[in-house]
Amino acid sequence: MLVGGFVGELIITFTCLLDYILASPQNQNFMFTVEMMETFLRELLGQDDTQFPEATCVVHINQSLEELSGGMALPYEHLAKAIRDPANLTDFGLSYLFEIQRDLCLSADIIDVVFKAVTKIATQHAHEPEELPIVPEDADEEQKAAFEEEEVKIKERNVMVEAENKKIEQIKTRVQIAVRPKDTNKEEMAFIKLNNRREEEANGTATPVPPPMSSSRTGNSKLEDERTPTPINADDDVVFQPEKIPKKVPLVKPVQGEINTIVYHSEAPYSVRRFLIEQAKKNFKELEKAELNALLSHSHRSSKMLEERIEENLIKTQGFNRGCMFQDQNSRILFKTFLKE
């Protein structure tokens, strides 16, 4: 799970890209448009060789689009605004992202463009093929020849329509607006933060990770802190190094038997952002000279703040606490408990 999902990653990444572009005096009037974002998503997710699976970019709402629109054929711009409404959005991470968007310095224009482009793609209908003309029984040879010529042209256009409909169907398997009501009866018992998989090296060390906080299981032991490798993103004084993040992303089911958990990946988003940035560099000439790691580092501030704020929010509102917390190089787990750190 990514906090905010794929849509959240689009918003964070394109906010960083916009910052980079506007930093150049010659690009002061630049802005991403819905058409630009739509083209970007089609090239990223709509190709036969795309590496993204089905349901990659999904926005969850509490009612169907038909119910949301009142049965009316609303323009995608109006639908996008309704979908973004907190009263209709049921993605917890994405909703919380919007709650603190000013603190994260997320661009309101980017949020608007992303939602409009996603809605436009997800609600696009297939094109109807043209009907072939019927030759009148009393048509002369010249008329028959004209009908045959027109029939050939229509068939050629219908082949193009069929190919376009295939592309529409293909991208709509990856860009979706789906109904998922809020489950008020489900109670999560653990909050799990996952790092990318770190393996022990021959010398007993591993790729650096953020240091553990104090735990009532082990205490805030000085010896425990000394064994902790120097973190890559423990605080603002340490330079974030995206190239040192391991590549292996663990997969964990949020439901284990009858136990529900909240799970999110802390470092996996940078893998997604790599794809987004690399595709954006192909789409926008203003990004041709942009350095991938510099842009990833720029996005790190938003990610770090989002993680801190969402954990604090769950502690304040959902009964989680840091007492009995578990943390190692690959994960960090908070439980519902009255015990504090």
Over 90: is that where the pLDDT of 233 sits? no
pLDDT per residue as tens digits for the range 151-204: 999 999 999 999 999 999 999 999 999 998 876 667 778 888 888 887 764 444
Q: Looking at residue 221, what is its pLDDT? A: 36
Closest listed residue to residue 331, CA positions, set 268, 274, 271? 268
* Confidence label for 33 from pLDDT (cuts 50, 70 and 90): very high
Residues 74-91, mean pLDDT to the nearest whole number: 93
330: pLDDT strictly greater than 90? no
Q: Which residue has the tokens 């150049």?
A: 24
Question: Residue type for 122, please?
Answer: A
Q: Which of 100, 139, 76, 145 has its CA nearest to residue 309?
A: 100
Least confident of 94-103, 131-140, 259-268: 259-268
> How does residue 235 score in pLDDT terms, banded at 50, 70 and 90?
very low
List all residues 6 or more positions away from 292 whose beta carbon is below 8 Å from its beta carbon: 274, 277, 278
Residue 255 predicted with pLDDT over 90: no
* pLDDT confidence of residue 198: 79
Residues composing the chain: 341
pLDDT for the residue 226: 37
Quick check: 220 pLDDT over 50? Answer: no
Over residues 263-282, the mean pLDDT reads 92
Helix and strand numbers (H, E) in the chain are 10, 7
Across 71-80, 108-117, 325-334, the highest mean pLDDT is recorded for 108-117
